[in-house]
Amino acid sequence: MNITFENVTFKYIERNILDNASFSITDSDKIGVVGVNGTGKTTLLKLILGIENPKSGNIIKSGGMRINYLMQDPVFDPNKSLFDIVMEESTKENPIPDYEASSILTKLGFMDHSITVKNFSGGQLKRLALAKVLVTPCDILILDEPTNHLDNALILWLEKYLIKWKKGLIMVTHDRYFLQRVCNKMMELDFGKVYIYDANYDLFLELKAKRLEEQATAEKKLKAILKTETEWMRAGVEARRTKSKSRIERFEKLSEIKFNEHKDMELTSITSYLGKKLISMVNGSKSYGKTLFKDFSFDLERNDIVGVVGDNGCGKSTLFRILMGIDHLDSGELILGETLKIGYFSQNLELIDPEIRVIDYIEEEASLIETLDGTINASTLLERFLFTKELQYSKVKMLSGGEKRRLQLIRVLSKNPNILLFDEPTNDLDLYTLEILEDYIESFKGPVLVISHDRYFLDKICNKLFIFKNGQIEQTLQSFTEYLNTEAVDDRISDAPKANKPRNANKMPAKERNLLASLENEIPTLEEKLKTLQDEIKQSSTDFHKLMEIQEEIDKLTIELSEKTDKYFELLEMKEEIEGR
């Protein structure tokens, strides 16, 4: 199965997304798509899917190709159950077993599969969409920022799942460990050109650096020739009489060359005065229906870069709201220094009015900004963050997700804060901006607290962790990877053979093999029984006592089915690993 682009050109407003691009993708490729925000990574995916059409050129796909697409902002029928949504693409030719649909929903944190999405958050919708695309048969799987809204355990599980994925994969993600471990090719979008590297992420960085160096050398030579030819064309009347037609044509062709002038972005801000007293908490406790944390004490130090980690919904953002005075402790004491000037980067893009112009969004905060180079206006600051004059006067809704993130960042830094609180700052940011943000945080002259699930990001910048776990907050000086190793989570993604499993074993032990065969028969029977009970409950809507009895049986059966389904997939993975040796 192949997807081929032949001389494809695509423009979005004034942006050149693809410029006469030609390349091919097969169903054995696992491709990571990278490029600066606004270069058109999501648009490229839409061109492959046929949601967008090229201005010129052809996109050729093998007949009968099935493509699954995980979009950034999925939308579902609010009246359908989670189970029905996941099963939407099930057909006679390509059926989705009920137990697989139930298992993937449970794995992604959905315990009740009969509820609708009416009150779902964006994160819940994204996880549901992920469940649907993973369980639906396809030849090419396209994922747009798959790790957004997943907690650490789910990210590790998804990474392992995609490493074993046997079909084609095209993925846009900022997760550098994902790119390194899952992808066997990298596709870079740069000034309308597409560069494909047969490499994982680390090797891609080396090859890209070499390409840019060679490109800079070639452009330097071209510019020198163009300068010479320009001087020759500008020569006096006597010289013009002797100009050859071929040389004039050569000059005209050289003049048409557009050089890609890479602009560098640098994050800087003046740090406001910060006194000796920063932030302290003494025996702080907070509950929202459940205990988020209790008896938590800490003293924030000037050079702290703290990674705040834990499962979704454990209370990380609540801690930030408490530090900012938006929310309050149930008990304990919070002590704030008088000179604090907190810069808060929210994970909620919906806080930005989509109808406001880019420059107006910054000028709402400050029209003049103090920087290390003196006072500048909002327009100049935006230019430093790679927002052209045209983009500055566009509405926010015209920006890509990553550009909106960058815009949020500008507004936060324009306040010249002395303490930074970042809530999932890496979501949707391109790798180039991420590296610049990391350098900025490391050089910041005050403490930084970061909520993130980005393992690479946390490993690189943090010198301390606050870990939300079982209603407590643990503190450690370990790196995030060291912490995961301590928790033995990294065993889930290790490809190394286990010591107690013989290396040459090519057959599953009889006990496990028999259990797998047994579960293959049991699971469909349990599913049928569950379906029968669900039909009964509809027919007994007026008999309260019978309803309670049936519901109790459904609850027990659901738990049993979930446990057996999880065991089934565990044994199936074991079988695939043994047979794959």
Q: What is the pLDDT of residue 255?
A: 62
pTM, two decimals, is: 0.71
pLDDT of res. 489: 43
- For residue 438, give Cα distances in angstroms to 2, 208, 272, 462: 38, 20, 20, 10
Amino acid letter for position 208: K
- For residues 200-239, one letter each, b for 16 or more C-beta atoms within 10 angstroms of the residue's C-beta and e for the rest, the string is bbeebeeebeeeeeeeeeeeeeeeeeeeebeeeeeeeeee
Q: How far apart are CA 252 and CA 255, in angstroms?
A: 5
**Could you give the CA distance from residue 358 to residue 68 in angstroms, rounded to a whole number?**
34
Backbone angles phi, psi at 78, to 5 degrees: -70, -10
pLDDT of residue 244: 64
- Residue 182 vs residues 206, 215, 221, 376: alpha-carbon distances, Å: 18, 29, 39, 44
Segments in the chain below pLDDT 50: 237, 489-505
CB atoms within 10 A of CB 428: 24
**At residue 282, what is the residue type?**
V
Give residue 491's pLDDT: 46
For 324, residues 6+ apart whose C-beta sits below 8 A from its C-beta are 342, 344, 421
Distance CA 443, CA 270 (A): 12
Q: Backbone phi, then psi, for 137, in 5-degree steps?
A: -60, 140
For 87-108, write each residue's pLDDT tens digit: 999 998 889 988 889 889 988 8
* DSSP secondary structure code for residue 351 in this structure: G
